[in-house]
Amino acid sequence: MDRRRGDEGFYAEYYKTLRNGDKILVIKPRAMKLIAELLAEKLDEEIMRSTLRLIKKRTIKKLISLLHELVKHENSLLPEVGKVLQELKDLKNQTGGLCAQLQPLRDKMLERIESWPYITPEYLSDIFGFDVSLLTPRTYVILLAINDLESRSEKPNITNISSAARIRRDSNLEKLLEGLVRAGLLEASKDVESSGAGRKSKNLFHLSAKVREALTPPRGSMSHESWTLLNCALSRLRNRGYLALATPAEKVASIPDAVAIPPTPDGWDWRSTIAVEVESEKEIRYHKRHILNLIFRRLRQGYVKIMFVCKSSCRGELVNTIKDGLKRFFPDAYEKLWRSLRKKLSVMTINL
∠ CA 47-48-49, rounded to 5°: 95
Q: With 90 as the cut, is the pLDDT of residue 113 above it?
A: no
Among 86, 95, 49, 52, smallest CA distance to 66 is for 86
Backbone dihedral region for residue 187 (phi beyond 0: left; psi -120 to 50: alpha; all else: beta): beta
Q: With 80 as the cut, is the pLDDT of residue 214 above it?
A: yes
CATH of domain 217-350: 3.40.1350
Among 276, 350, 335, 263, smallest CA distance to 308 is for 276
Show me where the domains of the chain are located.
Answer: 8-116, 130-213, 217-350
Among 145, 140, 128, smallest CA distance to 241 is for 140
Cα atoms found within 13 Å of the Cα of residue 250, Cβ hemisphere only: 3
Q: What is the pLDDT of residue 336?
A: 82
33 vs 110 pLDDT, higher one: 33
The per-residue b/e assignment along 185-207, b for 16 or more CB within 10 angstroms, e otherwise, is: bbeeeeeeeeeeeeeeebbbbbb
CB atoms within 10 A of CB 97: 10
Q: Which of 50-54, 189-193, 206-210, 222-226 has the lowest mean pLDDT?
A: 50-54
pLDDT digits (tens, 9 = 90+) for 221-268: 889 999 999 999 999 999 999 999 999 987 667 899 999 999 999 899
Q: Can you name the residues that pair with 277 across neighbouring β-strands?
A: 308
pLDDT band at 7 (very low <50, low <70, confident <90, very high): very low
pLDDT digits (tens, 9 = 90+) for 168-182: 988 899 999 999 999
Q: What is the pLDDT of residue 273?
A: 95
Task: Tell me whether residue 316 is exposed, middle or buried, using C-beta atoms within 10 angstroms of its C-beta: 0 to 12, 13 to 18, 19 or more.
Answer: exposed
Q: With 70 as the cut, is the pLDDT of residue 40 above it?
A: no
Q: With 60 as the cut, is the pLDDT of residue 195 above it?
A: no
Return the C-alpha torsion angle 148, 154, 155, 157, nearest 10: -50
Identify which of 38-52, 61-75, 226-240 has the greatest average pLDDT.
226-240
pTM > 0.85: yes or no: no
20 vs 304 pLDDT, higher one: 304
* Cα-based distances in Å from 309 to 81, 119, 254, 312: 73, 21, 18, 9
Q: What is the pLDDT of residue 204?
A: 93
- The mean predicted confidence, pLDDT, of the chain is 81
Among 269, 211, 256, smallest CA distance to 230 is for 256
pLDDT digits (tens, 9 = 90+) for 265-296: 989 999 899 999 999 999 999 888 889 889 88
pLDDT digits (tens, 9 = 90+) for 80-100: 666 777 777 777 777 777 667
Q: What is the pLDDT of residue 11?
A: 47
Please give the class, per CATH, of domain 130-213. mainly alpha
Q: With 70 as the cut, is the pLDDT of residue 124 above it?
A: yes
Q: What is the pLDDT of residue 97?
A: 72
Q: What is the pLDDT of residue 221?
A: 82
